[in-house]
Structure 1
Amino acid sequence: MTKTLEERPATKPSLLAEARQISFWAENAAPIGLVALVIVFSILSPSFLTLGNIRAMLVAAAILVVLAIAQAFVITTGGIDLSISATMTVGAIGFGMAWQAGFGFLLSAIITILAASLIGLVNGLLIAKGKVTDFIATLGTLSVATGLALIVSNGKPIAVSSPELLVLTSGSLGIFGYPIILAAIIGVAAWFVMFRTRFGLHVQAVGGNEESAIANGISASRVRIAVYLIAAGLAGVAALLLVARVGAAEPAINTQFLLNSIAAVVLGGVSLTGGKAKIVGPIIGALLLTALTNGLTLLGVSQFYQPLAVGLVVVLAALLTRYQKK
């Protein structure tokens, strides 16, 4: 009996060390996973680390990076935006119609962001003032926005031949295309807002403990409306990148952007229950998902298997988040 009691204290440090080790992997899942993918794919495919492919991956990742940042603001408050891909589509159609009407690039871009932001405002009001759960509210606006895009465009893509969009999609500084540079600028601005402003502190406080935040004078309803507006506005920016990449405003939504934007945030270590903010993590998560898809494509893996691979990665990341430091 005495021997058993003497052995017990030695067990606790061992368990603590094991917990810390798991926590390390959980906190750094995105960067570790990205490095691992780069090593594996560079070995399996000689063209993976070529300058041309790296540039293509970064350009392809730009839209997802912007959407992941948008989703990070919402998820930090404990919410979720299921309408973000449809919001992006509405913004794209808004640009296409404004461009066709001869409004020019700048005014068309403003209309794009305003059209997308309108969806975000509706989401925010439904959730903050109407007390509708975020899942139901954004699921509803997902359907409404999808219908609006199809009705307004008559279900047909709107061709856009804007010189400004051509520069945006083809211009670069070295291997960094303008889309990823724009996404990086947005990332820096988002990091500053989240971690260096009072508003960012309020976002984290509302997600951590809404009742306590309200008791400390924070207007939770205003914060929620604001984050959905931010998310929708960024979806409008993503719409510009999408139109530039495709060369047309497509009325059909791409649900892959919705799923991957949430997946990137989960991979980036942002808690789905709210209160834990990260910006760099979701950006790395978006780069990881893009690298995964690109690498599988280079290896000739069927597109049918790619969602399966992404899903497995996300489920693993979600399991690891249980061991993150609080």
Structure 2
Amino acid sequence: MTDMTMTTSERRATKRGPDLQGFFLRYGLFLLLVLVILLFAWLRPSFISAGNINDMARSASIAALMFLGLTWIIAAGEIDVSFMSVAALANMVVAGLVVSGHGWAIACVAGLLVGIVFGFANGLLVAIFRLPALVITIATGGLAGSIAAAIGLGTSISLSSTGFIGTLLHVNFGVLPLLTVVVALLYGAAWFVQERLTFGHYLYALEQNRSAVIEAGVPVNRLLLMLYILSGVVSSLSGILLTADLSSGQPYIGTSYFIDGLTAVLLGGMALKFGKPNVIGTVTAVLLLAALLSGAALLGWTDAQRQIVRGVLLLCGVAVVVWARRKTRAHI
């Protein structure tokens, strides 16, 4: 009995020894972010100028807000490919209402309702009626995108004033926008919910063994419905912010966020919880993408070259998540 206990202790001690592979698997994404920032700062000192940092932080904050709900949906083993179209529709609804003479307050409420309606529709069809999430969100995303294009008759809507949203976007704390501080606090709260509450355990258990979670009495359908509504709400909020940030409504703006969203969530799965999408990983991947795109622009890279980088990162994220999930299921 003593020998067995000692053997177990020795094994644990061995596991506590230096594990470079484990270290890089958990923290490699953070190290890559630091490396990219240092590299671009060396190649182009203007990369770390106050103005460029402010611009990167603002764009990264809007993107991170949009991808928050998507992170938890993918972590739960589902998918939502309508998030960027919902953002585009909210963007066009706000721009259309402002141009037609309605105030920014009413326009923002209408934009937020867009996210609630589409999020509820996705959740209802996927969670309650058990229809395939990919098919459903492709359909709802296509509907949202079509309505967005119809509002502007296929073209953008220019705004002469960005209202109180534009004012808030340009409030800064030092070099950082107020928006960045707010999104950081939101992600901090999301991390607490994910790591310290039973919600996080249910979330990851759903992907691993959904039947066991249902048998444990967890209201799975209600949980998934909430996740899809959350995704719709944060997507619409991002669309509202983009209206003020761009001073216009852009019906096809969601296209540029599709690859970025999947890349951020899947690549973020490489951080901390290997193979499991998580909020800290997502925000780190968003910062990495923002740094890469900003640095690439300063170096004069073409749009095609930037898309190649995005594609490579997405492939890395998909490969890591799929491999990790197969390994986890093999041990169940």
Would you say same fold, with TM above 0.5? yes
Structure 2 CA distance for aligned equivalents of residues 103 and 209 of structure 1: 49
Matched, 1:159 2:158: yes
Aligned equivalent of 1:47: 46
1:19 deviation in Å?
Answer: 11
Task: Give yes or no for the alignment of 1:24 onto 2:14.
Answer: no
Distance apart, 1:22 and its partner CA: 2.9
Q: CA deviation at 1:323?
A: 5.5
1:222 alignment counterpart: 222
Q: Aligned partner of 2:315: which letter?
A: V
Alpha-carbon distance, 1:275 to partner: 9.3
Match of 1:209 in 2: 209
Superposed, 1:238-277 pairs within 5 Å as: 238-269=238-269, 276=276
Unaligned 5+ residue runs, structure 1? 1-11
Residue 84 of structure 2 aligns with which residue? 85
What is aligned with 1:69? 68
Corresponding residue for residue 7 of structure 2: none
- Asked if the contact 1:208/1:276 (under 8 Å) is kept, the reply is no
Q: Deviations over 1:147-196 (max 9, x none)?
A: 11122332232333233122123221111113322322321232233234
CA–CA separation in structure 2 for the residues paired with 1:260 and 1:18? 37
- 1:131 alignment partner in structure 2: 130
Normalising by structure 1, report the TM-score: 0.86
State the Cα deviation string for residues 3-23 of structure 1 (Å, max 9, x = none).
xxxxxxxxx99x989994333
Q: What is the aligned-residue identity percentage?
A: 25
Q: How many residues align?
A: 312
Partner of 2:178: 178
Q: Report the RMSD for the aligned CA atoms in angstroms.
A: 2.8
Quote the Cα distance in structure 1 between the aligned partners of 2:191 and 2:30: 17
Asked if 2 retains the 8 angstrom alpha-carbon contact of 1:66 and 1:183, the reply is yes
The structure, 1 or 2, with the larger RCO (C-alpha pairs under 8 Å, 6+ apart) is: 1
2:143 aligned partner: 144
Kindly indicate whether the alpha-carbon contact (under 8 Å) linking 2:82 and 2:141 is maintained by their aligned counterparts in 1: yes
Q: 1:71: Cα distance to partner?
A: 1.2
Structure 2 partner of 1:95: 94
Offset from partner CA, 1:261-299 (integer Å, 9 cap, x none): 11111121169xx99452111001000011011111111
8 Å contact kept, 1:23–1:323 = no
SS at 2:48's partner residue? Answer: coil
SS in 2 for 1:304: helix
DSSP 3-state at the match of 2:304: coil
- Aligned position for 2:8: none
Of 44-53 and 313-322, deviating more is 313-322
TM-score by length of 2: 0.85
Deviations 1:14-33 (A, max 9, x none): x9899943332222232111
Q: CA deviation at 1:88?
A: 0.2
Q: Give, in whole Å, the separation in 1 of the partners of 2:26 and 2:44.
A: 29
